[in-house]
Amino acid sequence: MSDPNALPIAGWYPDPENEAGDRWWNGATWSDHRRPRNAPAGWAPTSTKKGSKKATAAAEPAVTSTPAVAAPAAPVPPVPVAPVAAPVNPYAPVAQPNPYAGTAQPAYQPYAPAYAPNYAPAQPMRNPVALGGMITSLVALLFNFILFGAPGIAGAIVSIFGLRKANQLIREGVTVGNGKAMAITGIATGFAGALLWNLFYFSTISPIYFS
C-alpha cells in the first residue's frame, strides 16, 4: 500500500504562483525553474536567482523534457457474445396451419326459388247472387223438412239467377270471380236436397202417420 504522506516525484507541475506556466518540483520543494505551459520537448529551464544555476545544476538537469505520455493503446475490439436464446415455453400455443388458406371461396349467390310465386291479388267476387244461392242451398239441407223442401227449392231458384248473371259476366270477358261454379253447386244442392227429403217423407214418415 502506498504512503498517503509521500511527496510527489521530481518533475514539471503547474506553477501554483502562475496559472499560465509550469514549475519544477525537485521531489522535496519547489525550485526557481519555470517554463511556459506546454513547452516543447527539450526546453531548458532557467533560474530566476543569480548564482542558483551552479548550485542546483547537479540536482536539476539543464535540459529537461516534458514527462513522456504513453500513447493510448489501440482499442481492443469487443469479443462478440452469442445471444442467449430465450427459454422455450412448453405451454405456449402452437400455431396451426389454416387448411382453407389460399382456397377460393365461391361467390355468394342469393337464393332463387325454382318457381316464380304468383302473388297476384285475388279477384273480387263479381256475382254475389250465385254466392247467396249456394249458401242458401247448403243451409237448406238441414231445414228441408219445412214445407216439403221449400228452403232447398228457394236456394236452387236463387242459384239459377246467379247462373244467368255468371253467363252474362263470361260474355263480358270476366273469367275469374263470375260465380258460375257456385251457381251450379247451389242449383244441384237445392233441388237434390228437396227431392231427397220428399222421397224420405213419402216413403218412410207418411205411411207411419197415415196407416
141-194: per-residue pLDDT in tens?
888 888 888 898 999 999 999 999 989 988 988 888 888 999 999 999 999 998
Q: Taking all residues of the chain, what is their mean pLDDT, rounded to a whole number?
A: 75
Whether 159 is covered by a domain: the verdict is yes
| Tally of domains within the chain | 2
Whether 86 is covered by a domain: the verdict is no
Whether 167 is covered by a domain: the verdict is yes
* Cβ–Cβ under 8 Å, residues 167 and 180: yes
Distances (CA, A) of 168 to 5, 29, 161, 173: 147, 153, 11, 9
Whether 111 is covered by a domain: the verdict is no
Q: What is the domain range of residue 175? A: 128-210
Range 103-129 average pLDDT: 66
Whether 102 is covered by a domain: the verdict is no
